[in-house]
Amino acid sequence: MTSTATDALVTPEPGATSGPTTAFLRLPRAVRFMVYASAGVAVLAITREITGADQLTSEGTFSSAIQLTMPIALAGLGGLWSERAGVVNIGLEGMMVLGTWFGAYGGIQYGPWQGVALGVLGGLLGGVLHALATVVFGVDQIISGVAINILAVGLTEFLTSVNWDGASARESPSIIAKIPRVDLLPFLEDPLNNLASQGRFFLSDMAELLLALTTDVSLLVVIAVALFPLSWFVLWRTPFGLRLRSTGEDPDAADSLGIAVYRTKFVAVSLSGAFAGLGGVTLVYLFSSKFQTGQTTGRGFIGLAAMIFGNWRPGGTLLGAGLFGFMDSMQAQVDETAHALLVAAAIVFGCGAVYSATKRNWTAVGVLVASAALSWYWYATTDELPREFIPYFPHVTTLLVLVFASQRLRMPAADGKVWRRGSG
């Protein structure tokens, strides 16, 4: 049995005839990924021209967004592996927490790369626990995930108090050794800096993004990004990936063909914990250089939203995580930059209204036009956003994305269903 391949972000309507959208979907996924990313930069470039908020597309903003993307993206990738095998993993947040603590402990005691390995192992143990509960014993997948989230927080707080400064400890000592940082394309640095300094519409903005992607990049980020094309290859171009996806679509059919359904699910869920653990490691090594209680702040759940936004595909998951990471980076920007996002929202809503009009979905057109008008009015009548609102940018974006994208998504057919041989 083979699973139905769906697009990462946009799925054609049933019975849709050929047209511009269908032709676009025939393009290679790498090309479409670049088109989506370029479209996002174009929206930001237009916003910068209208508002004068130059920090919106600066190299520093993009660098911060890329680093903030990694924990979310890796949690989403973990969710993708698990749900492609038919198991919902709400426990990604707890597995990230385990990754932060073990990653910090390993970095302090042994060294940075040993810390990375221990953090991945910590997340893997959380994944194994979830697999034991859901795959082996048939525990409800949501209950198991919630229990792991609670258990991980309690365990790491206990371990923190035992290892560092007694019962009042809320964080670990700082990690002295660092993960190396590299310039990926040093021969392009001077030309890109020259183009970025010219202030050209879109071209300079793209140069800033390319500088952020290739200059002073942590090797941890390089490894994390490489996992996405690797995951795509394994899941869509190998026999193991076909078997894994089959268990998430129709485990009874997969079992009838001799696929070891239980083992495949167990491996997928365990690996999902390892990916989430690596996401927790990035929080430690890219930002604070220490473990801190409450460090993940819901990024495991946002990673699940990125996976859904990406239609259970690696490229779409990374793109969705990039959106949430960029919104997260706004917390470190001046009021003018965050305020300018209202114009970006108005542009996006307006483009969505035009697209919905071509589909004759007049209800959506009305909602999107009203949203665009409200966003523009908010920008025009205020000078800044409430500071209390800015930390919730990723969460608000998550809700908006799921509301507007949910009708074009297709989850694996057996996702979330407890399977037992012979019960079908």
User: In this predicted structure, which of 168-177, 193-202, 267-276, 403-412 has the lowest mean pLDDT?
Assistant: 403-412
Is the pLDDT at 116 greater than 60? The verdict is yes
In a domain, 7, yes or no: no
Task: Read off φ and ψ for residue 422, nearest 5 degrees.
Answer: 85, 0
**pLDDT tens-digit series, residues 284-323:** 999 989 999 999 989 999 999 999 989 999 999 999 999 9
Task: Identify the band that residue 409 occupies on the pLDDT scale cut at 50, 70 and 90.
Answer: confident
For residue 214, count CB atoms less than 10 angstroms from its CB and return exposed for 0-12, middle for 13-18, buried for 19 or more.
middle
- Cβ atoms of residues 366 and 355 within 8 Å: no
pLDDT digits (tens, 9 = 90+) for 232-252: 999 999 999 999 999 999 999
- Tell me the C-alpha to C-alpha distance, in Å, between residue 266 and each of 25, 88, 250, 303, 371: 33, 12, 16, 21, 44
**Above 60 in pLDDT, residue 166?**
yes
Mean of pLDDT over the chain: 89
Burial of 382 (C-beta count, 10 Å sphere; 0-12/13-18/19+) = exposed
Residue 31 within a domain:
yes
Amino acid at site 237: R
- 1: pLDDT strictly greater than 50: no
Q: Which residue has the higher pLDDT, 247 or 17?
A: 247
Which domain range does residue 281 map to? Answer: 20-333+386-408
Residue 386 is predicted with a pLDDT of 83
Q: What is the pLDDT confidence band of residue 407, given thresholds at 50, 70 and 90?
A: low
- Please indicate, yes or no, if residue 115 is contained in any of the structural domains: yes
Lowest mean pLDDT among 23-37, 105-119, 215-229, 348-362: 23-37
| 65, part of any domain | yes
Q: Does the pLDDT at position 26 exceed 90?
A: no
Q: Could you tell me if residue 231 is inside a domain? A: yes
pLDDT digits (tens, 9 = 90+) for 79-88: 999 999 999 9
Residues 37-44 have a mean pLDDT of 93
Rg (CA), the chain: 22
- Global pTM exceeds 0.75: yes
Report residue 249 as tokens.
Answer: 């679509």
410 by DSSP, 3-state: which?
coil
Three-state SS string over 351-390 comes to HHHHHHHHCCCHHHHHHHHHHHHHHHHHHHHCCCCCCCCH
Q: How many domains does the chain have?
A: 1
Note whether residue 345 is domain-resident: no
pLDDT above 90 (res 214): yes
**Residue 213 carries which side chain, given as an amino acid letter?**
L
CATH number at residue 288: 1.10.3470
Cα(353)–Cα(374) distance, rounded to whole angstroms? 14
Q: Is residue 21 over pLDDT 70?
A: no
Q: Which of 39, 89, 97, 11 is nearest to 299 (CA)?
A: 97
Query: What per-residue confidence (pLDDT) applies to 354?
Result: 93
Look at residue 14 and tell me whether its pLDDT is greater than 60.
Answer: no
**Scanning the structure block, which residue is given the tokens 């394309």?**
185
Alpha-carbon span 163 to 194, nearest angstrom: 50
At residue 422 the predicted structure's pLDDT band, cuts being 50, 70 and 90, is confident
**What is the distance between the alpha carbons of residues 62 and 39, in angstroms, rounded to a whole number?**
15
Per the rule left: phi > 0, alpha: psi between -120 and 50, beta: everything else, 7 is beta
Is the pLDDT reported for residue 105 higher than 70? Answer: yes
Instruction: For residue 91, give the 3-state DSSP assignment.
Output: coil
Residue 16 pLDDT > 70: no
